[in-house]
Chains A and B, each alone.
Chain A
Amino acid sequence: MKSSAAVTSGKIKRLSQKKNRSLSLRSTLDLSIMALPGILVLFIFNYIPIAGILIAFKNYNNRLGFWGSEWVGLRNFEFLFKSQDAFRIIRNTLGYNLFFILLLMVCAIATALLLDSVKRKISLKIYQTTFFLPYFISWVVAGYMAQTLFEFDKGILNQFVKMFGGENVAWYQELKPWLLILPFAHVWKNIGFQTIIYYGAIMSIDQELYDAAKIDGCRGVHIIRYIVLPLIKPTAIILTILAIGSIMRADFGLFYYIPNNSGMLYEVTDVIDTYIFRVLKQTGDVSISSAIGFFQSVIGFALVMITNWVVGKINSENALL
């Protein structure tokens, strides 16, 4: 907590440096009243559950409730890490998320660079709108779209397979393709959003820098390499820190709907969030799912802080907080 207090204070200091006007008690009270409903909602729906992660150390019983259930120390964690699931879901969550972060960054920067060389306003607009479409739909709807591709008899992919003389592939049972399908779906859904961020960063580069570089004989790829990429690096770093902060959290909808929750695919599609959901919904077993949930929250928080600290060490300008 202390470190985050310290890091946010930097941000706030910058804003309040201008002038420190003092406010009448009446005004302070009024402003606080404005914030009160929001404060309460955050307290109930965010802060109480944060305290609630302690049930990971309890043998939770519905009848006894949170306070009445007995403390069992690390027993839930023992159960969790003895099960084979733990390794699988942590591996999948981390593995996919790392790959997602890298892949999306590369794709979004590449797309933004390409968009930057599109000069006609109307084409630019059409591209941006199209790339943004998947952002507007839910994963459920995306799941319907996925079915039109992966369906066994009628799906588009199998039509292609047949066209080239192959046998129909049971996509919802084959493990290997999903290692690529899931990252593809992730990029598909988020490319519009991320591209806008990088495109904005590129747009904000001072035209004089380009002109100066051109006078020095800098052309094409070199401009990208020595002007554009270094200048969008801070943006990339901020986005990466944010993404690493939630690296223990999987995008539930992606992993649940795109593979159509197919049990045969769990080896490559089961992640922490889908696992917690399944355990909670199917068995109502709180102990194991709360243990993995605790793990997720604490590691996630630690990762944000560590990444931010590391980035701050290397280059304090780029640190997020």
Chain B
Amino acid sequence: MKTKSIKNLWVHIPLILLALCCLLPFLLVLAISFSDEATISNYGYSLIPLKFSLEAYRYVFEYPQQILRSYGVTLTVTSIGTILGVLLTAGLAYPISRPDYKMKRPLSLYIFITMVFNGGLVPTYILLSQYLHLKDTLAVLILPMMVSAWNVFLLKTFFMTIPISLIESAKLDGASEFTIFFRIVIPLSKVGIAVVTLFIMLAYWNDWFLSLIYIDNDKIVSLQYLLYRIMESVTFFTQSSGAAKTMMGSMTLPDETVRMAICVIAAGPMVLIFPFFQKYFVKGITIGSVKG
């Protein structure tokens, strides 16, 4: 019994350390957002607020326009992007899951190539900004991320578990391919759809890259981009000279606690919600990696 508990200790100590590494930064940001600004300035950050204060949140909710607008942008982009993304992904995944579809091989290859070959930032930027004129539009935050080959192949493996005989018998009853797809295949692949939905949703919610490249308009600032902009202005401020500082004035910068409060408000909901769907993420990751 004794050796067993010692062995257990050796298993749990590294795991607990790792868990703390993963968890503490979250708690730290949370603690700072609930701290008193002056105390932070004097004593530095701490994991437990030395002096508890709701001032930061009060400040944020007193001028909620920017946060609300950013929530609006992120929610719009995430919901439209996820719905379209799932539809398009399923539309690609289903045909290549059908052994009797003639174009299966070329289509799979067509999708696969996008996984290993990529034009990179510069040509994409020129295409989107010069030719498609998507700069400073909501569309630029949605369209480029809609389909990812990884999600298509992931969903395909779920579709492939549906017995072909089921599809064939539906066809004998006179159902069209579309009816079969929406009435039989989708309802039978709820887990697969859920998995892909979550991956796409997470990607949209957390995206800042497209905003960074294509958005200059102050009206289309998503949550992530808002956080970026705040961070950027702080960096600019702290790195600029004294003269520039006096010119900018001290009012332009949100306080430390306010910044962290905005961070909590922006990232918090998803950090709380996603773990509840962890089962699906785990499923997706395991299946996705097995299929390569």
Contacts and interface: CB of A to CB of B under 8 A. Distances in A.
A293 to B, nearest CB: 4
A46 B292 contact: no
B172 interface: no
A8 B205 CA distance: 33
A55 B123 contact: yes
A5 B164 CA distance: 26
A154 B180 CA distance: 61
The listed residue with most B CB atoms (<10 A of its CB), out of A5, A148, A235, A260, is A148
A148 B25 contact: yes
B109 A293 contact: no
A196 B45 contact: no
Contacts, number: 305
B89 A49 contact: no
The listed residue with most B CB atoms (<10 A of its CB), out of A19, A65, A135, A159, is A135
The listed residue with most A CB atoms (<10 A of its CB), out of B26, B113, B168, is B113
B44 A153 contact: yes
Interface in B75-98: 87-89, 91-92, 94-96, 98
Contact of B22 (A26, A131, A144): A131
Interface stretch (B53-61, B189-197, B245-253, B280-288): B280-288
A53 B120 contact: yes
A144 B100 contact: no
A132 B109 CA distance: 32
- Shortest beta-carbon contacts, A-B, top 6: A49-B119, A52-B123, A30-B177, A293-B120, A145-B25, A154-B44
27 contacts: A8-B105, A8-B108, A15-B160, A28-B101, A31-B98, A34-B95, A37-B87, A42-B147, A49-B120, A136-B271, A137-B206, A141-B266, A141-B267, A145-B26, A156-B45, A191-B18, A238-B292, A249-B118, A261-B235, A263-B239, A273-B121, A286-B126, A293-B119, A293-B123, A297-B117, A297-B120, A301-B116
Interface of B: 7, 11-12, 14-15, 18-19, 21-23, 25-26, 28-29, 32, 40-41, 43-45, 87-89, 91-92, 94-96, 98-105, 107-114, 116-127, 130-132, 143-144, 146-147, 152, 160, 164, 168, 171, 176-178, 181, 202, 206-209, 212-213, 224, 227-228, 231-232, 235, 239, 256, 259-260, 263, 266-267, 270-271, 274-275, 278, 281-282, 285-286, 289-290, 292
Given A37-B87, A39-B110, A128-B282, 7 more contacts: A5-B109, A30-B177, A55-B126, A114-B15, A156-B44, A293-B119, A297-B118
